[in-house]
Amino acid sequence: MPTDTATMAELRATLEELNVLVKALRDKAAESESNAEALVEARVTGLDQKIADLRAKQTELELKLKAPATTGSDDEKSMVREKEARSVLRSYLRGPEVWASVPPEKRALVADQATGQILIPAEMERELVRALPAKAVIRGLVGAQPIGSDKLHRRSLTGVTVAWGKLELGADLPESTMVPGDEYLYVRNIIGSTWVGTDLLEDTDIDLPAEINAAFAAAIAPAEDDGFLNGDYSGGKEPEGILTRVGTASYEIPMVKVTTTKLVTFKDMITLAYEVPEQYRVGGTFLMHPSTELELMLETKGDAGYVWQPSVQAGVPARIYGYPTATSQFMPTLPAADATSGTPYVLFGDFRAGYTIRDRRGVSVQRLVELRAEAGLVGFLITKRVLGGVIRPDAFAALCEP
């Protein structure tokens, strides 16, 4: 007997709704001159599609109820199901012969009934997401939140003014010139592949799902950093890169041109910081290429030694005028002394307030066999869905070439 009462209740509601729709279809057939006429009307009204959707949901719920029953607390049940899901995923990774021996109710633990994709278990996905901030720069600065759809409504209101006082005592009503923005940011797919020897697949002592998860986390981190900084959002494949929003328009990240041919000085850095409004400056961070940071570190003040004394304490970021610094290999390097293209090469701002990262649930894995079979290798294609975009351009400022 099924023990998941919530699933049973959902199944009963689905069956009741399905019966109502089927009865409606039969009534139409009885009223019509022919069954064909009733079917045509059902297609036009979408009734047949609703019935098909409910039957698919019925199948999914029945498979869920057939899954092995567990006892204990919710946490214990979750741990048991996670362990079973990992075991089923391991069977899929090891090959079609092993996968064929898995009963349908067990396959439902990792197989998406709607798309047929194989999804990694929920806890494995959380492990992947938790591992990324330690390996990726931008995700560590911004943080990330989950999202339940494939798009995010990016709204903004600028030009809002406030004032102290009580209107009933004669205080002036502040005038605002609000400019609403109304557009969407869409989830993008980031795809990675790894190749594993057939001998490793046959080694039952190896936790293959965990190995692939770790390898993908190490590979996805730099790809995300590049996309979040330089992504061409208009191309339809990449997230919106922060550097692509630098410009002179009111809705773009402000540009601060360097003042000397040396191209990077502490005077420019503090000027850059004070280009950002105070509410974002207090949480600001400098971001630059490692070679730019090195150039600043080597700046001297005569015989008095180096101007900048970075932190030597583990875990404490280096600071410039009290603001932490971070580096990324995907930031532009220092330009030539005679450069005039206006390329941004240092960013300052509150990354958490100015940029958003949203993780879409459902990391899928696909087994690739034919491509390198002669070399004794089996490939795994992993797809992760993530959204990234600038939500407050005024939370940043960029130091640029003249």
pLDDT confidence band for 174 (50 / 70 / 90) = low
Q: Are residues 179 and 103 in the same domain?
A: no
Q: Are residues 228 and 353 in the same domain?
A: yes
Contacts of residue 254, Cβ cutoff 8 Å, sequence gap at least 6: 275, 393, 394, 396, 397, 398
β-sheet bridge partners, residue 355: 390
Q: Are residues 234 and 286 in the same domain?
A: yes
Helix, strand or coil for residue 102? coil
The number of beta carbons lying within 10 Å of the beta carbon of residue 230 is 16
Note the pLDDT of residue 2: 41
Whole-model pTM?
Answer: 0.72
Burial status of residue 46 (CB atoms within 10 A of its CB: 0-12, 13-18, 19 or more): exposed
Burial status of residue 250 (CB atoms within 10 A of its CB: 0-12, 13-18, 19 or more): exposed
Q: Are residues 184 and 322 in the same domain?
A: yes
pLDDT confidence band for 115 (50 / 70 / 90) = confident
Q: Which of 117, 145, 180 is the last residue before a domain boundary?
A: 117
Torsion angle defined by CA atoms of residues 5, 9, 15 and 16, in that order, rounded to the nearest 10 degrees? 150
Q: Are residues 296 and 350 in the same domain?
A: yes
Q: Are residues 41 and 78 in the same domain?
A: no
Q: Are residues 25 and 138 in the same domain?
A: no
Determine the Cα–Cα distance for residues 250 and 393; give it in Å rounded to an integer: 9
Range of the domain at 80: 71-117
Highest mean pLDDT among 78-82, 207-211, 248-252, 284-288: 284-288
The number of beta carbons lying within 10 Å of the beta carbon of residue 205 is 4
Q: Are residues 278 and 182 in the same domain?
A: yes
Q: Is the pLDDT of residue 121 over 90?
A: no
- The pLDDT tens digits of the residues spanning 206-234 come to 677 787 788 888 888 999 999 999 999 98
Q: Is the pLDDT of residue 311 over 70?
A: no
Q: Are strands 344-349 and 396-400 parallel, antiparallel or unpaired?
A: antiparallel
Contacts of residue 267, Cβ cutoff 8 Å, sequence gap at least 6: 259
What string of DSSP letters covers 181-250?
A: EEEEEE-EEEEEEEEEEHHHHT-TTS-HHHHHHHHHHHHHHHHHHHHHHH--GGGTSSPPPGGGGBSSST
Q: Are residues 133 and 188 in the same domain?
A: yes
- Kindly state the tokens that stand for 224: 């995300």
Q: Are residues 380 and 324 in the same domain?
A: yes
Q: How far is CA 105 from CA 3, 19, 69, in A?
A: 15, 25, 12
β-sheet bridge partners, residue 380: 194, 367
Q: How many domains does the chain have?
A: 3
CATH of the domain at 346: 3.90.1690.10
Q: Are residues 162 and 49 in the same domain?
A: no
- Kindly state the tokens that stand for 28: 């139409």
Determine the Cα–Cα distance for residues 320 and 162; give it in Å rounded to an integer: 32
Q: Are residues 256 and 226 in the same domain?
A: yes
